[in-house]
Amino acid sequence: MFRIGEFARFTRVSVKMLRHYDEIGLLQPAYVDPHTGYRWYATAQLPALDRILVLRELGFGLAEIAADLDPAVAAAVDVDGAHARREHELQAELAGTAARLRAVRTRRQMLAGGVSRLTDVVVRPVAAELVATLAAGDDVPAAFYSLEEYVRSHSARAVRPPMTLLGDDGTASVAVPVIARLPDSAGVSVIELSAVPAMACTVHRGRYEDLGGHLQRMLGWLEQTGREPAGCVREVYLRFDAEPELRLPPVYLTDDADELVTELQVPLSR
């Protein structure tokens, strides 16, 4: 038999780890001297230790390893199911790593085109939101003014930024967050924008005429990273200009076109 230090050197497992396995009952010594407390290990324990090391390398938890080692426990536990779950976890990790690799490669391509071409895209969930909407037609500012005025007349304005919803057919509707439903009138309707579990978001700072190019770069990033758009694009106005009589939250307002801040949002398929 081996004393714990000898067993540790032979197996390349630290003394600290062997003591830990003993304390949790995963691999107890073959013999403990009752007078000195020294732990002794037998060569017959090597297969059990090897199984522990293999399962740890594969990412199994200590409880799952204990079930795998004990035939009595294994008979009552779905060991194969645990392996299936670990396989699924590894496949998800692999897919995540592949997605990050594509994102790094895409970012390098953007950097090669110059820092001004770099588009930072963050994927995050977006909560459901109640909004009043109005078809924009050819005059988006006029549509916003009419909609904001209508919402203000009903004291229903929520302190959240407005947005434009861009349909796949090229149509656009302006949307203003509201705190409650209000009567439909003159083309105004209230809808609830559904929650989006995975929304690609990128922030544009500056004039609105540059939004189209920023959106195209964002869509290029999505294509190169294997992400699929699944819904209308949203232009969310985090800082914008508005007429004083609308009495909008000042935190969102600026009269400097170069200080406008717009978040482009694209829903993604799961």
DSSP state string for 25-74: TSS--SEE-TTT--EEE-GGGHHHHHHHHHHHHTT--HHHHHHHH-HHHH
63 lies in the same domain as 100? no
Is the distance from CB of 156 to CB of 182 less than 8 angstroms?
yes
86 lies in the same domain as 21? no
Q: What is the pLDDT of residue 83?
A: 85
Q: What is the pLDDT of residue 116?
A: 58
Is the distance from CB of 174 to CB of 235 less than 8 angstroms?
no
CATH number at residue 226: 3.20.80.10
67 lies in the same domain as 192? no
DSSP-assigned beta bridge partners for residue 240: 253
124 lies in the same domain as 106? no
Query: Which residues, 6+ apart, have CB-to-CB distance to 21 below 8 Å?
Result: 27, 28, 52
Rounded CA separation 223/208 (Å):
24
Q: What is the pLDDT of residue 77?
A: 61
110 lies in the same domain as 197? no
Dihedral angle over CA of 231, 258, 174, 150, nearest 10: 150
What is the domain range of residue 89? 81-115
- Secondary structure (H, E, C), 109-151: HHHHCCHHHCCCCEEEEECCEEEEEEECCCCHHHHHHHHHHHH
Rounded CA separation 25/153 (Å):
71
Q: What is the pLDDT of residue 109?
A: 81
What is the domain count for the chain?
3
111 lies in the same domain as 169? no
Q: What is the pLDDT of residue 136?
A: 92
Helix axes 62-69, 46-57, angle to 10 degrees: 140
Q: What is the pLDDT of residue 192?
A: 95
Q: Say if pTM beats, i.e. exceeds, 0.75.
A: no
85 lies in the same domain as 178? no
pLDDT of the chain along its 270 residues, tens only? 899 999 999 999 999 999 999 998 899 999 999 999 999 999 999 999 999 999 999 998 888 888 888 765 555 567 778 888 889 999 999 988 988 898 888 888 878 877 556 678 899 999 999 999 999 988 999 999 999 999 999 999 999 999 999 988 888 999 999 999 988 787 899 999 999 999 999 999 999 998 998 999 888 888 888 889 988 999 999 999 999 999 898 889 999 999 999 999 999 986
Q: What is the pLDDT of residue 1?
A: 87
